[in-house]
Amino acid sequence: MNIVVQEVQKGTGALKVMVKDSIDIQGMKTMSGSQALMDTPAAIANAEVVELILAADCQITAKTNLHELAFGITGINHSFGTALNPKYPDLIPGGSSSGSAAAIAAGLADFTLGTDTGGSIRMPAACCGVYGLKPTFDRVSRKGVHPTVSSLDCVGPFAMSVSMIETAMQIIDPSFHPLAELTQAPKLAWLDVRADTEVIECIQDYLDQADLPLTSVKSEWFDSAFEAGMQVINYENWQAYAALTETGLVGADVNARLLKAAQTTLQQVQQAEQIKAKFKAEIDALLTQFDALILPTLPQIPPKVSEAENTVAFLNLTGLVRPFNLSGHPAISIPLQTASGLPVGLQIVAKQNADEHVCAIAKYIVEAAQ
């Protein structure tokens, strides 16, 4: 199914884990889904999260495929194959952590690890119908994760339940301590964003089942945060991968995006930092009034693989996830399905370093809606 790029067999524990191939495993090449890195030397050490997984007596069985260089949102990869979306085979698996999401949907692991710089965990989670958590920025170690330098990227887990997300977080973040079940309904706000009617109605129907009242709120800086996040990602990815554009081995879509990213200036990044401060303050203020913000993970139903060759044409799919990479807040995607059987993600955002709380709220909502 093009989910796995390398079989590993590390550890012998009860929990089976797969790791995105942008995360180092000692003795194995970290190729980040690119032919341009096939001749790279094997990693000389495990990433810190891999060490934690092995110390918890888990079994790492494979490295998973991804959108090349983790610089794309569809998951389409012509070098190593595109991971099949097990539940929705005609639709994209989402990127960049496509293989990690698909592996959970296919039942190949108890939890998997992905990375999320601009939605790359939450988006494939929504596409593949699984749970995915982007932790608070810098809460989970990025030591041994590529690209080495990133001011937005987060390592986080995929699983088939919030409980398993919490288990994974206890392993990869030793400071994570799950909360007891909430005894009263959380105070929730609906963040008013642009999304297709089908998506919004699916989420509203689900929340109606849970009998959870919502207060509608708006963000003045949301759209600006989306653009600012892209400026930062472009600038940092060009710093990391500029040399690869000269090899002739990078896929056409990613190569074109990298060359365009070369035009991003340091001044634009500095302006993005100013927007980051304003957006973060705005979201922080809202989260003093509410326990969490609710919004869709994706603004539309994921496109078909056959329609999604042009990554640039679908960058708007990250419109509702990327802003929270800029602000650094934790966010989880809950899998829903429309009446016609299509995937929708419900995104929950909480205060910074309230990763335990965002998981507890997600569990409460899921149980209340049953």
DSSP string across 291-319: SEEEEESSSSPPPBGGG---GGGGGGGGT
- For the chain, the maximum distance between any two Cα atoms, rounded to a whole number of angstroms, is 58
Q: How far apart are CA 320 and CA 347, in angstroms?
A: 9
122, 158 contact by CB (below 8 A): no
Q: How far apart are CA 183 and CA 287, in angstroms?
A: 20
Judge residue 344's burial from the number of C-beta atoms within 10 Å of its C-beta, 0-12 exposed, 13-18 middle, 19 or more buried.
buried
Strand arrangement, sheet containing 4-10: 4-10, 59-64, 16-20, 111-116, 154-159, 131-134, 331-337, 343-349, 292-296, 188-191, 214-217
Least confident of 269-283, 300-314, 320-334: 300-314
The two structure tokens encoding residue 314? 């679908």
- Name, in order, each residue with C-beta under 8 angstroms of 73's C-beta and a sequence gap of 6 or more: 67, 94, 95, 96, 118, 119, 120, 123, 311, 314, 315, 317, 318
CA distances to 21, 92, 104, 342 from 83, rounded to whole Å, are: 13, 8, 12, 18
Residue 114 scores a pLDDT above 70:
yes
Q: What is the pLDDT of residue 309?
A: 80
Token pair 């330098």 in the structure block, residue = 149
**pLDDT tens digits, one per residue of 178-217:** 999 898 899 999 999 999 999 999 999 999 999 998 999 9
The two structure tokens encoding residue 98? 């496509």
1 falls in which pLDDT band (50, 70, 90)?
A: low
The two structure tokens encoding residue 272? 């993005």
The two structure tokens encoding residue 223? 């759209």
Residue scoring higher pLDDT (3 or 190)? 190
Q: How far apart are CA 357 and CA 180, in angstroms?
A: 10
Identify the sign of the CA torsion 365, 345, 157, 290. negative
Token pair 């810098």 in the structure block, residue = 138
3 falls in which pLDDT band (50, 70, 90)?
A: confident
Mean of per-residue pLDDT scores for the chain: 96
Q: How many other β-carbons are positioned within 10 Å of the β-carbon of residue 270?
A: 10
* CA 214 to centroid of chain Cα atoms: 25
Q: What is the pLDDT of residue 285?
A: 98
CATH code, domain carrying 294: 3.90.1300.10
Question: 117 lies in which domain range?
Answer: 4-369
Q: What is the pLDDT of residue 5?
A: 72
Q: How far apart are CA 254 and CA 266, in angstroms?
A: 21
314 falls in which pLDDT band (50, 70, 90)?
A: confident
Least confident of 5-14, 89-98, 216-225, 305-314: 5-14
Average pLDDT (226-249) is: 97
**pLDDT tens digits, one per residue of 78-113:** 999 999 999 999 999 999 999 999 999 999 999 999
pTM: 0.96
Average pLDDT (29-44) is: 97
Average pLDDT (253-265) is: 96
Q: How far apart are CA 296 and CA 207, in angstroms?
A: 12
CA distances to 33, 113, 142, 229, 255 from 39, rounded to whole Å, are: 12, 24, 23, 31, 18
237 falls in which pLDDT band (50, 70, 90)?
A: very high
Residue 6 scores a pLDDT above 80:
no
Number of domains in the chain: 1
**For residue 191, what are the β-bridge partners?**
217
- Provide, rounded to the nearest whole percent, the portion of the chain with pLDDT above 70: 99
**pLDDT tens digits, one per residue of 335-352:** 999 999 999 999 999 999
Residue 38 scores a pLDDT above 80:
yes
Q: Which of 151, 187, 126, 113 has its CA nearest to residue 319?
A: 126
CA distances to 8, 59, 75, 356 from 167, rounded to whole Å, are: 22, 14, 26, 11
105, 128 contact by CB (below 8 A): yes
Q: What is the pLDDT of residue 188?
A: 98
Q: What is the pLDDT of residue 2?
A: 81
